[in-house]
């Protein structure tokens, strides 16, 4: 019964394809960084080597992100390929950069030595727009040139009616219930660990 609706394009196919592309980019960045770290190229003694390697890899891996996002979006029957490519290149990095910039502004206001210099931020922007964005376009070009992904089963013309969800299957209660357990475990463990460390100080 369900097989006729499995490959139905989602309502927010653009967002899904963009997030999938960004996820592939982060996945390969993490994989290659861990590989280099395991081989001993990224020594803990060299401060900032891990972050530098991760940043450079993320910038250089724009091509697979654009490719995956384009293939998935084309499979959904999407036609706004320019928006897809731009969102893939700008959405997730933009959110991260915005949060990072706001935090850095606070550090600047407090005159902290941990604040990142303005020239470094400009260099990051140059890497982002000068390398990552064009590479995403290259990947998307090859992704859109490929044939549409063929699904193993045909999608029904009439969507299957989804029954009304119960309260605990809705997003917000699910997020709360899914977050309470790990948070509670970590909080209790940290409480006892820190209590045992600092109990002699009271």
Name the strand (E) or helix (H) holding 52: helix 49-60
Q: Look up the pTM and report it.
A: 0.77
User: 38 with 87, same domain?
Assistant: yes
User: 197 with 156, same domain?
Assistant: no
User: 124 with 178, same domain?
Assistant: no
Torsion on CA atoms 140, 146, 152, 154, rounded to nearest 10? 80
Is there a domain that residue 2 lies in?
A: no
Is there a domain that residue 120 lies in?
A: yes
User: 174 with 89, same domain?
Assistant: no
Is there a domain that residue 156 lies in?
A: yes
Angle between helical axes of 62-75 and 13-39 (0-180°, round to 10): 150
User: 150 with 122, same domain?
Assistant: yes
User: 48 with 108, same domain?
Assistant: yes
Is there a domain that residue 3 lies in?
A: no
Instruction: Tell which phi-psi region holds residue 80, choosing left (phi > 0), alpha (psi between -120 and 50) or beta.
Output: beta
User: 64 with 104, same domain?
Assistant: yes
Is there a domain that residue 5 lies in?
A: no
User: 63 with 123, same domain?
Assistant: yes
User: 25 with 98, same domain?
Assistant: yes
User: 17 with 97, same domain?
Assistant: yes
Which residue positions in the chain have pLDDT lower than 70?
Answer: 1, 3, 200-202
pLDDT value of position 1: 58
Number of domains in the chain: 2
Cα 22 from Cα 14, distance rounded (Å): 12
Is there a domain that residue 117 lies in?
A: yes
Tell me the residue range of the domain where 140 lies.
Answer: 13-161
Is there a domain that residue 136 lies in?
A: yes
User: 119 with 185, same domain?
Assistant: no
User: 155 with 190, same domain?
Assistant: no
Is there a domain that residue 7 lies in?
A: no
pLDDT value of position 200: 67
């Amino acid at each position: 019964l369900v097989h006729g609706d499995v490959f139905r394009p989602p309502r927010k196919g653009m967002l899904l394809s963009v997030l999938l592309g960004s996820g592939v980019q982060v996945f390969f960045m993490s994989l290659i960084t861990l590989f280099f770290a395991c081989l001993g190229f990224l020594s803990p003694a060299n401060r900032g080597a891990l972050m530098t390697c991760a940043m450079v890899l993320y910038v250089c891996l724009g091509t697979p992100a654009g490719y995956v996002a384009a293939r998935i979006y084309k499979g959904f029957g999407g036609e706004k390929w320019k928006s897809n490519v731009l969102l893939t290149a700008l959405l997730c990095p933009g959110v991260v950069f915005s949060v990072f910039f706001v935090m850095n502004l606070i550090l600047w206001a407090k005159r902290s030595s941990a604040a990142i210099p303005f020239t470094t931020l400009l260099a990051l922007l140059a890497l982002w727009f000068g390398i990552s964005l064009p590479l995403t376009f290259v990947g998307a070009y090859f992704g859109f040139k490929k044939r549409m992904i063929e699904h193993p089963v045909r999608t029904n013309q009439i969507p299957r009616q989804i029954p009304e969800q119960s309260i605990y299957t809705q997003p917000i209660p699910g997020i709360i219930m899914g977050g309470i357990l790990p948070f509670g475990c970590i909080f209790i463990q940290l409480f006892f660990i820190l209590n045992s460390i600092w109990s002699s100080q009271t």
